[in-house]
Structure 1
Amino acid sequence: MTDPREAAARYLAAQQQDQNADGDEESGTPPGIAAAVDRAAFIETAIQVAIRRGEFDDLPGAGKPLEGLGTHHDPDWWIRRKIETENLTGLGPPAILLRTEDQELNDQLDLLGRESDVRDVLDDFNRRVREARRQLQGGPPVVTEPRDVDVEVAAWAERRAARPIAPPVEQQRRRRFGIRRRG
């Protein structure tokens, strides 16, 4: 079932398109402008019809301010909220990504078991810091410093030595399930 107003808007748009196809050279209107105007008129008519039908009534959040805007104007508020709600990572300018990675790097290094792996991760981090400093893509400046690999490896080894030694897997299993040793 078609709404009569919608049908009338389509008929009017078709009539105007036929007239513009015949007389574009005479009217001086650039080609495509009339189609854009017709499309805008059709969309506006469809919106008005939907409003009259009540399709926009009782929408969630109607009449309430948008959450997360704060008191200052941030044109990127919506993308920041999307990143937070979707828990997206790896998005943003290199300066911010490297700063965040730098803060979490020690924890990541502590998960590694071999010195060569720690050196590889640090070399990769330093390479990306140097590349980001060379890029002139705009955005915030890269203030993250490359890390001294030898100093970081020594700090990693100290943190590793200070950690309590985990009991063997069999002892952990016995404790967890309350199994006693047969003797």
Structure 2
Amino acid sequence: MAFSQMMGNLKNVESNLELARAKYSAEGASRVGGSVAMTGAAINSFTLSSIWESADACFAARGTVLADPEMQAAITASEGRPLGFMIGDLKTELGQCEGTFAVAVGATTTDHSDDAVAAVAGHYERLFVANGVNGVRTVRLNAAGEFTGAYANIFYTDTLDAYFNASAAAWGDTDFLATSAKIGATIVDRTISRMV
């Protein structure tokens, strides 16, 4: 899964997303989405997320799409300035991963085993998806600057209260706390975005 973050004029964000979705889907992306940050240091930045079969396919498509005259015109018209690009492995996908909002929770761990990822996914299913959060994706970031090696846990929801209530319940849940301690989990960042 890849994340391309830009700052610029958001006036045409919906039409620009549709253009990017068409271009990247034509190059093989299985999903293309967009969001605008509502919190954090990069507030009002736009993130284009996409899912690929391989890193090679992602970078080949990125080169093709960013060289496309129509895409270049859209970026120029929006005064787009790149902030960063991150790519990682999609480890889990639970529920319906769409919604009005996305809450991206950055976390580090000391245990990166499949068993650790599966244990956390089980807690997310039980505590978040079963309690009003639409879905969750967990991505291990492989090339992401200072976030390389961390996990992006992306919670999709139609109501932020559902996410925050589930999060509070999780941090009061003894099994979740035990797993977090066992794998050495630490939250390092949380950003709320509205989906476009």
TM-score range, shorter chain: under 0.3
- TM-score by length of structure 2 reads 0.20
Which of these two proteins has the greater Rg computed from alpha carbons? 1
Higher helix share: 1
TM-score normalised according to structure 1 size: 0.22
